[in-house]
Amino acid sequence: AQSVTQLGSHVSVSEGALVLLRCNYSSSVPPYLFWYVQYPNQGLQLLLKYTSAATLAKGINGFEAEFKKSETSFHLTKPSAHMSDAAEYFCAVSAYGSGNTGKLIFGQGTTLQVKP
């Protein structure tokens, strides 16, 4: 079975500061990992994904996430926050094989606030 824990329901940073949103996962088989972003009154859109091709996943708007198997983590980072990054961010995990059919499980979400 898969599960996701996002540490911190709210994160506040100043414009230009480092963004770090934490995600830890649990999976009985090699996972596929995703970060989605949801802007106010909009649907979810994919930010980036890890699918075992490379441990560092690069996404849109300068976001990155590093897959660390030993720590079961997939933290999202951005070197310099912009006001437009204010949104809700969701980490998700899925798995295939060994009886897993691709069920996609999300974390609780982290709201990012960017202060001027």
Partner 1 sequence: DVKVTQSSRYLVKRTGEKVFLECVQDMDHENMFWYRQDPGLGLRLIYFSYDVKMKEKGDIPEGYSVSREKKERFSLILESASTNQTSMYLCASSPHTGTTEAFFGQGTRLTVV
Which residues lie near partner 1 (CB under 8 A)?
6, 9, 32, 34, 43-46, 49, 51, 90, 92, 94-96, 101-109
DSSP labels for the chain?
Answer: --EEEEE-SEEEEETTSPEEEEEEEE-SS--EEEEEEE-TTS-EEEEEEE-SS-SEEE-GGG-EEEEETTTTEEEEEESS--GGG-EEEEEEEE-EETTEE---EE---EEEEEE-
Query: Which CB atom, from 9 or from 113, has the smaller least distance to partner 1?
Result: 9
Least distance to partner 1, CB of residue 6, Å: 8
Query: Which CB atom, from 27 or from 73, has the smaller least distance to partner 1?
Result: 27
Least distance to partner 1, CB of residue 81, Å: 22
Least distance to partner 1, CB of residue 27, Å: 11
Query: Which CB atom, from 62 or from 109, has the smaller least distance to partner 1?
Result: 109
Query: Which CB atom, from 86 or from 106, has the smaller least distance to partner 1?
Result: 106
